[in-house]
Chains A and B, each alone.
Chain A
Amino acid sequence: MKGIVFTEFMEMVEGKWGLDMVDDLIDVVNPDSGGAYTSVGTYDYQELVAYVVELNKRTEIPVSDLVYTFGTYLAASFASKFTDFFNECESTIEFLTHVDDHIHVEVRKLYPDAELPKFSYEQHSADALTLHYESTRNLADLAHGLIIGCAAHYGDKIDISRSGEVRDGVAYEEFKLTRIP
């Protein structure tokens, strides 16, 4: 997984629980990388999973909530780092329709080794969208957080209902989005 995900994660931990928590997590997980993450490197996805599990132990916040929270955090961070992508669009819904065939495409150009999820969608109206997530990594919660984070950026109020399943190691999740005016 791309280093940016790790550095953002550590930033979030540091911001929310302090630098010592970062040290604790690294000390306990003791990853091969030694925890010396840089945004431009690439690291084992399992290290991230281990941190989340350890964080859950220490904070007693459910893993799904942690991942979701990370999503919202990540969205905010992306919004400041990749402003162009956000400026191209006017609304959350419009932005989400660009993720799969534009944003992640550009991401892959920048990081050829990135492993990105697949998104497809049906747009019902300017304010209603169904987004389908598909990935070998079960990170639907992250996606959920990212969506909410994006909505925050655009100042949209979005109602989301989710349903999903894991089949043959592949996670499928459906997000029904409605913007509340």
Chain B
Amino acid sequence: MTDDAPRLQRRYEREKRARIKAESILEQKSRELFATNEKLVKLSESLEQQVNERMQDLERARDEALASVHAKTQFLANMSHEIRTPMNGVIGMLRVLKTCEDKKKSERLIDTALESGHLLVSIINDILEYSKLDSVGIELERERFDLAAALDSVIQTFAANAHSKGLDLITAVSPALPSEFIGDATRIKQVVGNLLSNAVKFTDAGEIAVGAMRSADGSVEIFVEDTGIGLSDEEQKKIFSAFSQADISTTRKFGGTGLGLSICSKIINTFGSKICIDSKIDRGSRFYFHLNLPVANERSLAKEYQSKLAQTAVVLVSRSRARKIYLQKFFHEIGLGWFECCEHLTEFDPDYISNDFNCFLILDQDTPFDLEQSVAQVQKLAISNMEIMTLVNFENISGTQSEFFQLTKPLHHRELLDKITGIEVAEKQVEAHVESFDFSGKKMYVVDDNQVNLDVAKELFEYAGFDVVLGHNGLEAVEYLQENAVDLVLMDIQMPGMDGLSASRTIRSFGGKFLDLPIIAMTAHALDSDRKKSLEAGMNDHITKPIDVDFALTTIAKLLGVEAKAKPVEATKIHQEESRYTTEYLPEVEGFDFPSALRRVRGRELKLIEFVLNLAKNMADAPERLEQFIDAGNVGEAQQLAHQIKGSGANIGASALSKAAADIEQQFKQGIARPDRASRHIFHEEIAKLLKLSKDVEPVLAAKNNAKGSLSEREFIDLLKAIDVSLKTDLGEAQTLIDKLYQSTAQTHYEAIVSNIRSSYDAFKIADIHALIESTLGGIRKRE
């Protein structure tokens, strides 16, 4: 047994060790298990969290989608309102037009309908743009525009609506306002239209005034004022974001226009300003904003009519408070000799006004009854030197037979002024100044990669007296300018190789006289940011293509310090005729604006036809080329092509084509490799129209050429030889031939020689003619 004791002891030790080992292993295993379990729990938690996050993402996406659907619905409702208003304008005008017999009035109605139509188009464009540009923001155009006319056109659009509600719509544009500014007219019209539409909507009785005036700081204040329901302080705060504010009552109260106003406020913000409101509940509202617009033409109604009204008196009989206030101000600013107003004719004492005045009595037709009463009273007054005019809603014009001159509401200031001055100073002087500057002796270098643009520029600026030299790209320009002194450079921006911006930078970098060389950027981009880019590149100014003659010349004159020539007043009338070019051969085709293109070639239609034919010839295969470039993924070439057509198209008056090309170019710029089918389709159609048109007018040019235009060189030589022969045999025959030669070489490079020949013939210097013919033929032979 003693033997067993140590063995038992060892067995016991062994079992103990095994147990301890087992325990430690188990402990370790359980720790591992615990850790693994932890991990699993965490994993499942994080999975749960992930699932939750995914859920939340999904929910958010769903909410966003719903919100955007909601916004889109709202947007649509809102936009259909915006569309309906000018649409009503068009329909309203047309309805009146149907019964209107007065030719002058119908023209006004048509103009207004057209204006409304244009507003409609620009609104629709905005809708498209809004959906495109919402995230990108708004880019403002810079173009010359007549602010008063712009406001007038908006007012006319809303007149039918306002009048049908019994509201008086008053134009309150200050006559001291410069006739032309530079800025984005469409945007301003859009904003004013929106404010005006709201004013009409929320005013049940009284009057609405739309106006503009220059503030002391030089900015222009534009306002829309009504006697409507007004806005509480609370509403004023919300109104520009009415759409995003989920306040149903506000939204309901302001209808779908919530978005309209927030767009307006965005637009005015882009102008660097903001829309302000003065309003009290039930006391009307005044929306106004100040814009800092560069003045393009300092002329104003006030300046034009100033001296002409000193001996004129106007008596206004009206119950409209606003009309009285604004007309009073208007006549004061324009220098009217005497203004008086009263609510009823009975208050008016004719003896009060000096007999020296030309006196005009304006009877406002507040109600038809008022007018009849007033007329009866006027007859009693029996004022000899007083002409009576009535002021009636334009819709009523056609119906009423009147012995008096009828002014229409909304009042067209020019119409009134023309009437009371008796002079038709009409629209005029704003028009073409081509002759009003003389740039003779100045040398201009024009660089553009587009031949049509160059041709047009040459035409245009040579006529203004410039000696015009043409270049085709940036590098050529830099090289030419290093060697040759010029007075002015017109530089296209987008050119292959060295573009206009780098060319300008390079030229400026030469220092010295190159720092002062006037360089004007010439681009198809009317945007502010483009202008900034050209100025940053050291250019002095920026004009847009197609070239606006007046604007270009005014800009150039300013840069070169050339003064406008004093122009005799009589010239105005004639000039006016001239500046309204009409086409003789080019038919009116939708999408083409030949009259304005004609202006760029100073009415020389054959020249324009030539341009049209050239473009048609060069671009006949443009659609195929474009498609090929697109298919090959060659965006650069495709964009270049679109850009070219945009420029040339605009120049020859193919506005729709130019627009389609611009649209395509824009899409390329946005990185779209395949512009949408719609714009490509339009592009194809417009090219097709251009081709058809060019086919139609080609015979005109051919016929004209035969009659008078360019001879072929062969014919020219033959004719010269015939003349040379007949000089010795039959002088009568020689004269006929010389006349023929003269006619058929007008405006060709033979012109100079031929006119020398002719004047020699007139002086009977037969030997000289012979010598001239000899040397000309010799020159041609040498060239061959």
A and B are partners in one complex rather than unrelated chains: yes
Question: Which B residues, 18 to 61, have Cβ-Cβ distances below 8 Å to chain A?
Answer: 18-19, 21-22, 25-26, 29
Q: Take A19-B11, A23-B7, A23-B11 as given contacts and tell me if A40 and B17 are in contact as well, using a CB distance cutoff of 8 Å.
A: no
Tell me the smallest distance from the CB of A11 to a CB of chain B, in Å: 13
Are B25 and A35 closer than 8 Å at their CB atoms?
Answer: no
B627 CB-CB contact with A under 8 Å: no
Residue of A nearest to B8 (CB): A23
Instruction: Report whether B29 and A40 are in contact in the complex, using a CB–CB cutoff of 8 Å.
Output: yes
Smallest beta-carbon distance A30→chain B, Å:
11
Which residue of the partner chain, among A34, A36, A40, contacts B25 with CB atoms under 8 Å?
Answer: A40
Interface size on A, residues (CB 8 A): 12
Chain A, residue nearest B15 (CB): A36
Structural contact, B10 and A36, CB atoms closer than 8 A? no
Whether the Cβ atoms of B18 and A36 lie closer than 8 Å is yes
Give every chain A residue within 8 A of B10 (Cβ-Cβ): 23
Residues of A within 8 A of B7 (CB): 20, 23
Chain B: residues with Cβ within 8 Å of the partner, total of 15
A6 CB to nearest B CB, Å: 10
**Within the complex, what minimum Cβ distance (angstroms) separates A31 from chain B?**
11
Name the contact of A41 in the complex, choosing from B11, B15, B21 (C-beta under 8 A): B21
Nearest A-chain residue to B17, judged by Cβ: A36
**A129 touches B (CB below 8 Å):** no
A34 near B17 with CB under 8 A, answer: yes
* A residues near B14, Cβ cutoff 8 Å: 26, 34-36
Shortest Cβ distance from residue B561 to the other chain A in the assembled complex, whole angstroms:
95
A169 to B569, CA, bound (A): 123
A69 shortest CB reach to chain B, Å: 24
Interface residues of A in 43-100 (CB under 8 A from B): none
Q: Given A19-B11, A23-B7, A23-B10, does the pair A41, B22 have CB atoms closer than 8 Å?
A: yes
Hey, which chain B residues are within 8 Å of A39, CB to CB?
A: 22
A36 to chain B: which residues have CB within 8 Å? 13-18, 21
**Residues 18-40 of A at the B interface (beta carbon under 8 Å):** 19-20, 23, 26, 34-40
**In the complex, which residue of chain B has the Cβ closest to the Cβ of A6?**
B18
Expressed in whole angstroms, the minimum distance between the Cβ of A170 and any Cβ of chain B is: 31
**Which residues from A are CB-within-8-Å of B21?**
36, 38, 41
Measured CB to CB, the closest approach of chain A to B13, in angstroms, equals 8
Q: Is B26 in contact with A40, judged by CB distance below 8 angstroms?
A: yes
Give the residue name and chain of the A residue nearest to B22 (CB).
Answer: A38
A38 vs B20: C-alpha distance when bound (angstroms): 9
Bound CA span A35–B19, Å = 12
Q: Give the residues in chain B near A23, CB-CB below 8 Å.
A: 7, 10-11
Q: Is the CB of A38 within 8 A of B18?
A: yes
**Considering the chains assembled together, what is the distance between the CA atoms of A35 and B10 in angstroms?**
10
Tell me, in angstroms, the Cα distance from A41 to B25 when the chains sit together.
7
Contact with A along B687-718 (1 / 0, CB 8 A): 00000000000000000000000000000000
Interfacial chain B residues near A40, Cβ < 8 Å: 22, 25-26, 29
Q: How far is the CA of A20 from the CA of B16 in the complex (A)?
A: 18
Residue numbers in B under 8 Å from A38 (CB-CB): 18-19, 21-22, 25
Q: What residues on B are CB-neighbors of A35 within 8 Å?
A: 14
Tell me the complex Cα distance, A35–B375, Å.
Answer: 136
CA distance A67 to B16 in the complex (A): 28
Chain A nearest CB: distance from B8 CB in Å?
A: 9
A20 CA to B7 CA, complexed, in Å: 9
Residues from chain A with a CB closer than 8 A to the CB of B26 are 40
Per a CB cutoff under 8 Å, which of A19, A20, A37 touches B18?
A37
Nearest opposing residue in chain B for A42, CB measure:
B25
Q: Which residues of B contact A26 (CB under 8 A)?
A: 14
Question: Could you tell me the distance between the alpha carbons of A35 and B25 in the complex, rounded to whole angstroms?
Answer: 16
From 738 to 768 in chain B, residues with beta carbon under 8 angstroms from any chain A beta carbon are none
Within the complex, the shortest CB–CB distance from A14 to chain B, in Å, comes to 11
Which A residues are in CB contact (< 8 Å) with B17?
A: 34, 36
A sample of 18 inter-chain contacts (CB < 8 A) reads A19-B11, A23-B11, A34-B14, A35-B14, A36-B13, A36-B14, A36-B15, A36-B17, A37-B18, A38-B19, A38-B21, A38-B22, A39-B22, A40-B22, A40-B26, A40-B29, A41-B21, A41-B25
> What are the nearest 5 A-B pairs in CB distance?
A38-B22, A36-B17, A36-B18, A36-B14, A38-B18
User: Which B residues are within 8 Å of any A CB, using their own CB?
Assistant: 7, 10-11, 13-19, 21-22, 25-26, 29
Known A20-B7, A36-B17; 6 more pairs at CB < 8 Å = A35-B14, A36-B14, A36-B18, A37-B18, A40-B25, A41-B21
